[in-house]
C-alpha cells in the first residue's frame, strides 16, 4: 500500500515537474509569438546592444539616425520577436539581386540572412526556428554564413553546405536553403 | 642595512622573474620565427584540425586531395608559422582582382585575409603580428572581416573600420589596411 502511494506521488511529481519546465520554457505561449519587421529608432538600437553580434552595422545605423541621414522609424533590414516590450530574438535579411547571384541555378534573387540570435534566457523555445521559417516564407533561396559551431542548427533547418569555391567564398562557410525547383550553382572547380 | 639587502634582493627577484616570464613567452627566440606558405598535403590538413576555425574550406581541400583534383604539396592560400615540426599559427590570404574591388580608391588588387589564428599555448608571442606584417609586405591594401571581439587587435595592427554599406557588406564587419597613397572608397550612402 505504502509503495503504491509512493509510486503515484512520484509519477505525479514527474509529470508536474515536466509541465512546470515546459511553462517556464514558454512552450505554452508559442501562439503569441510573432515575427515583426523592426523600425530604426533609438529604442531598437538600444535593444540591439544586448545581442552579442553588435557591430559596425548597428553603429552605422545609429550614426545615420543621429545625423538625420535616415528618419526615425525607417524600415530596417532587421526582423525580430518581442516578449512584452523586450526584443528577445532577431535576424537580418537582405534581398540580393539576381545579377549578383553565384550560388543558385537558375540565377535569381535570394535572401542573405545574418545576425540570427536569440537572447540567452530565451533559448530552447524555437524562436530561432520561427525566424528562419519566416525567412523561408518569402519562397526564394536563402544563403547564410554561420559561425562554425552552429552547423547542427542549420542542418536541422534544412540548410546544406555549398561546394566551397575560394574565389567566391573566401573566409565564409556558406550554407544555403533551396526552395522547390532551385538547385545549387556549381562552378567549374578552381584551385584552392 | 637589513632593509637595503632586502631591497637589493627584491629588485633582483623582480628582474629575474621578468626574465623567466619573457623566456617562457618565447621573446628570446623571436628571430627564429619564419612565416611560410603552406603546401596542401595530409600533414598540413591534419594540423589544421587543431585550429578553431576549421570549416568548409579545409574539408574541400581534403576532398580535392583525396580525389586527386589537386596534387599533393600543391600551393595553398594558407601561410603559417612552425615551432619545430608543429604548425602553431596560420592565416589565409587571397588576392582579389581589381575588377571586384569596391573598398579602395583608386580601385586596385587587394588581399582578403581570414582565419588568422594562433594556437592557444602560443599566444602572447606576437605571432599574429608577424603574420599580419607578412601580409602587409605585399604592399597592397588588405581587407579582413574579423570576429566582433578581436577589433582591439586589428586596431593595433593599423586597420580601420570601413563605412558600412549594407548592400556590399551584408553580415560583415570589414576592417581595412591602407598602404601609402591608397584611400577608402566611399559609396554614395544607401539606406540600411
CA B161 vs. chain centroid, Å, equals: 17
pLDDT at B149: 80
- Subunit contact A192:B162, Cβ cutoff 8 A: no
pLDDT at A175: 97
Preceding peptide of B108 cis, ω within 30°: no
Give the mean pLDDT of A47-60. Answer: 94
pLDDT interval class at B31 (50, 70, 90): low
Which of B55, B96, B114 minimises the CB distance to A148? Answer: B55
pLDDT at A192: 41
Cβ-contact B37, B76 below 8 angstroms: yes
The residue among A51, A27, A25 whose CA lies nearest residue A123 is A25
CATH class as words, domain A32-184: alpha beta
pLDDT interval class at B116 (50, 70, 90): very high
pLDDT at A7: 62
Please return the burial class of B154, using the count of CB atoms within 10 Å of its CB with bins 0-12, 13-18 and 19+: buried
Q: Which residues of A touch B188 (CB under 8 A)?
A: none
Q: Is A60 on the interface with B (CB under 8 A)?
A: yes
* Residue B7 pLDDT > 90: no
* CA geometry: angle A80, A82, A86, nearest 5 deg: 115
- Subunit contact A76:B192, Cβ cutoff 8 A: yes
Q: How far apart are CA B2 and CA A190, in angstroms?
A: 75
pLDDT tens-place string over residues B132-150: 999 999 999 999 999 878 9
- Helix and strand numbers (H, E) in chain B are 6, 9
pLDDT at B189: 57
Would you call B43 helix, strand, or coil by DSSP? helix
Would you call A40 helix, strand, or coil by DSSP? strand
Q: How many CA atoms lie within 13 A of B187 on its CB side?
A: 14
pLDDT interval class at A148 (50, 70, 90): confident
- Subunit contact A60:B170, Cβ cutoff 8 A: no
pLDDT at B110: 98
* Residue A74 pLDDT > 70: yes
pLDDT interval class at A115 (50, 70, 90): very high
Cβ-contact A116, A132 below 8 angstroms: yes
B35 pairs with which residues across the strands?
B81
pLDDT interval class at B192 (50, 70, 90): very low
Cβ-contact A140, A176 below 8 angstroms: no
pLDDT tens-place string over residues A162-185: 999 999 999 999 999 999 999 999
pLDDT at A160: 96
The residue among A118, A111, A85 whose CA lies nearest residue A176 is A111
pLDDT tens-place string over residues A92-101: 999 999 999 9
What pTM was estimated for this model as a whole? Answer: 0.81
pLDDT tens-place string over residues A39-52: 999 999 999 999 99
Q: How far apart are CA B68 and CA A19, in angstroms?
A: 56
- Subunit contact A64:B166, Cβ cutoff 8 A: no
pLDDT interval class at B28 (50, 70, 90): very low
The residue among B149, B139, B91, B81 whose CA lies nearest residue B115 is B91
A-facing residues of B in 157-176 (CB < 8 A) are: 161-164, 166-167, 169-171, 173-174
pLDDT interval class at A157 (50, 70, 90): very high
Q: How far B92 CA lies from chain A's nearest CA (Å)?
A: 8
In chain A, the residue whose alpha carbon lies closest to the alpha carbon of B146 is A171
Residue B92, Cβ neighbours under 10 Å: how many?
Answer: 22
Please return the burial class of B178, using the count of CB atoms within 10 Å of its CB with bins 0-12, 13-18 and 19+: middle
pLDDT interval class at B187 (50, 70, 90): confident
pLDDT at B140: 98
Q: CA torsion B118→B123→B126→B127, rounded to 10°?
A: -30
- Subunit contact B161:A64, Cβ cutoff 8 A: no
The mean of the pLDDT values for chain A is: 88
Looking at A16-25, A151-160, A162-171, B136-145, which range is the least confident one?
A16-25
| % chain B with pLDDT above 90 | 76
* Residue B65 pLDDT > 90: yes
The residue among A14, B14, A40, A130 whose CA lies nearest residue B6 is B14
Give the mean pLDDT of A51-63. Answer: 93
* Residue A84 pLDDT > 70: yes
The residue among A181, A168, A172, A170 whose CA lies nearest residue A103 is A168
Q: How far B89 CA lies from chain A's nearest CA (Å)?
A: 16
Q: How far B96 CA lies from chain A's nearest CA (Å)?
A: 8
Q: Which residues of A touch B191 (CB under 8 A)?
A: 70, 74
In chain A, the residue whose alpha carbon lies closest to the alpha carbon of B171 is A114
What is the β-pairing status of strands B110-118 and B142-144?
Answer: parallel
Would you call A123 helix, strand, or coil by DSSP? coil
Give the mean pLDDT of A149-164. Answer: 94
DSSP class per residue in B119-154: -GGGTTSSHHHHHHHHHHTT-S-EEE---GGGHHHH
Contacts of A44 (CB under 8 A, 6+ apart): A38, A76, A78, A87
Amino acid at each position: 500500500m505504502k509503495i503504491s502511494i509512493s509510486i503515484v506521488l512520484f509519477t505525479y511529481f514527474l509529470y508536474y515537474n515536466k509541465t512546470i519546465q515546459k511553462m517556464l520554457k514558454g512552450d505554452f505561449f508559442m501562439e503569441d509569438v510573432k515575427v515583426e519587421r523592426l523600425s530604426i529608432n533609438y529604442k531598437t538600437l538600444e535593444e540591439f546592444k544586448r545581442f552579442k553580434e553588435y557591430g559596425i552595422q548597428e553603429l552605422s545605423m545609429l550614426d545615420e539616425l543621429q545625423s538625420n541621414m535616415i528618419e526615425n522609424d525607417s524600415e530596417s533590414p532587421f526582423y525580430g520577436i518581442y516578449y512584452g516590450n523586450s526584443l528577445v530574438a532577431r535576424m537580418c535579411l537582405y534581398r540580393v539581386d539576381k545579377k549578383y547571384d553565384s550560388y543558385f541555378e537558375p540565377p535569381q534573387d535570394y535572401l542573405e540572412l545574418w545576425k540570427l540570435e536569440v537572447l540567452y534566457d530565451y533559448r530552447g523555445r524555437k524562436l530561432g526556428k520561427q525566424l528562419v521559417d519566416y525567412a523561408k516564407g518569402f519562397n526564394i533561396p536563402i544563403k547564410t554564413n554561420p559561425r562554425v559551431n552552429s552547423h547542427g542548427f542549420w542542418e536541422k533547418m534544412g540548410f546544406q553546405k555549398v561546394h566551397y569555391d575560394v574565389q567566391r567564398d573566401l573566409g565564409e562557410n556558406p550554407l544555403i536553403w533551396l526552395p522547390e525547383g532551385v538547385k545549387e550553382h556549381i562552378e567549374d572547380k578552381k584551385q584552392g
